[in-house]
Amino acid sequence: MNITLKLYANLSGLLPARAQRNAAEVEVADNASLNTVIDQFKVPRESAHLVLLNGVFVCHEDRDRPGRLQAGDVLAIWPPVAGG
């Protein structure tokens, strides 16, 4: 299935070359967990700090669970960052 993957800050270089504005449509396995996708795109697990699925935070414990991802979902990932 296809999802939109967004990688930000110093993770942006891990996106496929065709990516624009930190986002690319990518193909992932139908039963992929979030960590499957994180590993597929070589995002170091410790750098997958802020993980938002359709804008909602997914905690570490839930990232191995298959079935969360649906076709058309938006998965956005940041390393540890802050602002204010």
Partner 1 sequence: MAWTKQILRVNLTNGDVSVEPLNMGWAQEYLGQRGLATRYFVAEVDPTVDALGPDNKLIMATGPLTGTMASTGGRYSVITKSPLTGTIACSNSGGFIGAALKNAGWDMIIFEGKAPSPVYLYVEDDKVEILPADDLWGKSVWEADELIHKKHQDPQIRISCVGRAAESGCLFSAIVNDLHRAAGRSGVGTVMASKNLKAVAVRGTKGVGNIKDPIRFMREVTAQKKVLADNAVTGQGLPTYGTQVLMNVINEMGALPTRNMREVKFEGAHSVSGEAMHEKRKTDGKPNLTRNAGCFGCTIACGRISTVDQGHFSVANKPEYWGNSGGLEYEAAWALGPDTGVDDLDALTYVNFLCNEDGFDPISYGSTVAAAMELYDMGVITKEDTGGIELTFGSAEALVKVTELTAKGEGFGKILGLGSKRMCEKYGHPELSMTVKGQEFPAYDPRGIQGMGLTYATSNRGACHLRSYTVASEVLGIPVKTDPLETDGKPELVIAFQDATAAVDSSGLCLFTTFAWSLENIAPQIDAACEGDWSVEKCAEVGARIWNLERDFNMRAGLTGADDTLPKRLLKDAANVGPAQGKVAGLDLMLPKYYELRGWTTDGQLTDETRSRYRLPA
Q: Which spans of this chain sit near partner 1 (rule: CB under 8 A)?
A: 6, 8-10, 12, 21-22, 49-50, 52, 54-57, 59, 74, 76, 78-84
Min separation Cβ 50 and partner 1, Å: 7
In terms of CB distance, is 31 or 72 closer to partner 1? 72
Q: Are 46 and 38 in contact (CB under 8 A)?
A: no
Residue 5 CB contacts under 8 Å (≥ 6 apart), including other chains:
15, 23, 24, 25, 26, 37, 41, 75, 76, 77
Min separation Cβ 4 and partner 1, Å: 11
